[in-house]
Structure 1
Amino acid sequence: MTATVRRLTAEEIDTDGFLALLGEAADLDTDALIRIRDVELPTMTVVGTVDGSVLGFAAFGADTHGEDRTELHYIAVAHEARGTGLGSRLVDAARRADPTRPLYASTDDDAVDFYRRLGFVVSDAPDDPRWPTRQRYDCLLEPVGDPAELTLDAYRAHARRYAQRTPATPSPLVAELAARLPVGSCVLELGSGPGRDADALEAAGFAVDRTDAAASFVAMQHDAGHPARLLDVRDADFGGPYDGVFASAVLLHVARPRLDGVLSRARMATRPGGVMIASFKKGDGEHWSDAKLEVPRHFVLWREDALADAFATAGWTDVEVRDSSSPHAAESWITVTARNGSRD
């Protein structure tokens, strides 16, 4: 079974075939199944595989017990797709929707061995009034891991997909940096990715040190004839000194408590009077998104005041923070420019 596990459309959910699968998952009468489909499922994430009809699905979301975990509410695989690994792929999709949280499921004797094989810790659960004669089990799977590392894994595995789905037009930050530095300046780019902005900076007359934490992007740069090196902004010495640091849509993956350290290392890599320009997603908190790559990436959202404080704490001066969102864009962005006023 190699078909893609993806979000199911409302039309796919509203089919007799899906309702039959929901019956496999919940084993309730038709009226109850219709209520689940029409009332409960719209509040959940529903993923599945379709090959003419829905071959399997999983519905997951908020935990009904108030715990800080993802709950796998319903899962089923059509008889003709069993034994293909689809069930484990559906569980993996639910787990990776928020890899920082445990995944919880409730089941009975018919399916408990399935969860045991996938590494869930299984314990006896209280009786469920919907199935009063069945032994119930609580099943819990630990979180996948560190959000930043999982996001980096997504880029490592899907660098070519990212390149194909990224517009060829360079970031507006290229022109902003060019307006602040003389031609011939040496620029460190953090997170060069497929090289779109580095190409534009070099075309504008700058020398660019291309770096990325994903080896697949570095290899892509080498294949295109460009020198590039591995650099993880979280813990590396950036090198230098540089006249400018360019970070378009890359520091938004850095955990909030670690940003001060990244900005400090960027300043230490920059000559006195040098410039840094960076962009961040605007908002509150943090979230996972499978947009663009179809695998989850973790984003930290920021507000202008907090970013201004972070740059100032790291020793940057002349900090300018502004909303740089495009009209009618689905997401809001912040651009920060700053200068290294240090004389040391």
Structure 2
Amino acid sequence: MNNSLSSFRSLVPALVVLALLAIMPALGPSNRMLSLAISAGINIVALYGLSVLFGQTGILSMGHAALVGVGAYAAAILARDSGIGFWLALPLGGILAAIAAAVIGIPSLRVSGHHFVIMTFAFGQLLTIVLTNSGDYTGAATGLDLQLPVNFLGARADDLQPYYFIVLAFVTLSAVASWAIINSPYGRTLRAIRENEKLAASLGINVGRHKIGAFVVSGVFAGVSGVLLAYFLRHISPSQFASFPSIYLALMVMIGGARLLLGPIAGGILVSFLPEVLNLDPVESRILYGVCLIAVILLLPNGLIAGLIDGWQRLLHGSVTKRESQSANSKHASEAGR
């Protein structure tokens, strides 16, 4: 009972932040800020998948944007060729991205460490080449337009406020799904693999199967994110899912923190909004991202949120220690006065 209550408490801060984000449209933000918020939310959905892979299993993928691309192109092609709309494209995009993750994962997870990172990076580059050279079917380098609107209470993707709430709903579902995975026996198994893979294998855990399973789960999140992205932008091209977008996602999850539920939200919002707040151009933004990543690795290796929590706990511990010390000194002084 206590464990269940404790695990639910870990979800509460994320839900509170998401509830606050639901108020944002009522504050009258500009279309630019609302568009950035939607983009951040779409990234956060993908980041929750990456947090399962990296934060819980300890596997860093540099091809995550390619899985987002599978979902995005699935939505665009299904809409064009079969007339399949947004709500049916969402599960199909997630399933196709999960299948792609399994196909990549089976050979890639035979290696580990930087070798796996290189292989996932190569997959992202390969997908870009395939999409660019597939002619009219994928729109080649130009990409594809998506014509079908989002049919939800009359809302269209170009109606920013309704689409903002749709994306926020999927961010909430992603947070709850990630929380459920983290607090399940499967999540505990993934963490055992992260902490000591050889020990986990000696205890009878099928390490390879669980690694592939985590990669497949991350693919579902990425595929759903890709469908959301395709319907938001209304146009997709191979360059959106190449190497830098994958690095961009990895940067977000590292800065925010991959092991806590608030990490993807913090990373997605910070990386999306900071250049806008500081009025930086794309080159300056990339320099800033690099500086932030180095600072986080050196100073906050578990991410910004974990660092803030640790700092707060140290502050509280210091205050308690100081009060105890003062109380002890007062007691000694009182005894000495007697």
Task: Normalising by structure 1, report the TM-score.
Answer: 0.21
Greater per-residue strand proportion: 1
Greater per-residue helix proportion: 2
Considering only CA atoms, is the larger Rg found in Structure 1 or Structure 2?
Answer: 1
By relative contact order (CA 8 Å, sep 6+), the higher-ranking structure is 2
